[in-house]
Amino acid sequence: MVPVLPLDGILVVSCEQAVAAPFATRQLAELGARVVKVERPGEGDFARGYDETVNGLSSHFVWLNRSKESLALDLKADAERGPDGVMRRLLARADVFVQNFAPGAAERLGLGADTLRARHPGLVTCSISGYGPSGPYRDAKAYDLLIQSEAGLVSVTGSADEPAKSGIPAADIGAGMYAFSGILAALYDRTRTGVGTHLEISLFDALVEWMGFPLHYTAGGGVPPRRAGTSHAAIAPYGTYRAGDGTEVVLGIQNEREWVAFCGRVLLRPELAADPRFDTGARRVADRRALDVEIGDVLAGLTGERLTARLADARIAYGRRREVAEVLEHPQLAARGRWTSVDSPAGPVRALLPPITLPDRPPRMGPIPGVGEHTDAILRWLDE
């Protein structure tokens, strides 16, 4: 008997492209929901064309769109069909509708939240936008880099000399996860009330929320946290340190107990813990350069193996600074069997299992669809 997943029986219809909305609906699909991805006939979701690095497929699309069904549909022409339109009939059966159209486009297509929920009171609708449904930035272009810049993430990321964007689409991912959690909450609420609701998620709001530490730091102290590479504006020692053989180890000393243990059992310099330059967290941050010199002098005489052994013995938090290629072969992923494969139009591709783990109920890890691959089957189903 196939285990029942939490969202089995839930139908999600999504007019989605790029990252944020597809990321949200992939989470729903892996928990058992049936996700119908509505795409433009021909080219489909434009993220399909970002690159060709995964057996000729886009790395973004492979990451975001497994376990979904693709319906190729001209939405403008379909809207003109009125009650006979595919979307009208599909949404009559749906539990959730997600869209990340440009502002105003859903309303022009007859897919606005007010229209849909008047027709289907139990429907949960979710709109994902760049800046929200109102305000002076409502109609602004909202690519991930632009949101990272407007939300201040770029200003606190990078080195002291140069800001940098996050290496992953942080605004898109943040919005996608808030859409996912918001939809789950709305579905739960519907079990009590029988009524759906509308969710408004914006990339800007999601990323500003994630900027909580630097925003509070700046509001409270009058100056923003400084960019410090892998270091931390308010904690030291914290960041990447190099052993004598070149091994890079990332440290994070969180409290005075750890600082004393680090000095005594890792550096073998217990007197350093009481040095008046470094005997509080604030003083270590203020004199970080001198602190790093003291630490660096000791680590230069250690191999990476010896350093990590001392850190483990002293129960000091540490990690390896790994390149992306190293993460593919990470021993923790291998030991826990976190890699699997999914089918695609280009054959099987490697895939990570999702972070949500349900004992004895494996997630759905269905194929990555081709454009319109399921159109005929969905139309037949609607005619039943």
Q: How far apart are CA 157 and CA 226, in angstroms?
A: 9
Q: Is 120 a catalytic residue?
A: no
Count CB atoms within 10 A of the CB of residue 282.
Answer: 10
Alpha helix stretches (DSSP H) within the chain: 20-30, 59-64, 75-79, 86-91, 105-108, 113-119, 144-150, 170-193, 203-210, 212-221, 256-261, 281-286, 288-299, 304-313, 324-328, 331-335, 375-383
Give the pair of three-digit tokens for residue 113.
């939240």
75-104 CB burial, b ≥16 within 10 A, e <16:
beebbeeeeebbbbbbbeebbbbbbbbebe
- Dmax over CA atoms of the chain, in Å, equals 80
Q: How far apart are CA 173 and CA 63, in angstroms?
A: 12
Q: Are 353 and 25 in contact (CB under 8 A)?
A: no
Name the pairing type of β-strands 238-242 and 96-99: unpaired
- 60, 120, 216, 232: the catalytic one is 232
Q: Are 349 and 55 in contact (CB under 8 A)?
A: yes
Rg (CA), the chain: 25
Instruction: Determine the 3-state secondary structure of 105 from DSSP.
Output: helix
Count CB atoms within 10 A of the CB of residue 257.
Answer: 10
Q: How far apart are CA 367 and CA 26, in angstroms?
A: 12
Q: Which residue type sits at 223?
A: V
Tell me the HSE value of 383 on the side-chain side, using a 13 A CA sphere: 6
Count CB atoms within 10 A of the CB of residue 4.
Answer: 10
Query: What angle (nearest 5°) sits at the alpha carbon of residue 246, between those of residues 241 and 252?
Result: 20
Q: Are 36 and 5 in contact (CB under 8 A)?
A: no
Query: Annotated active-site positions, please?
Result: 232
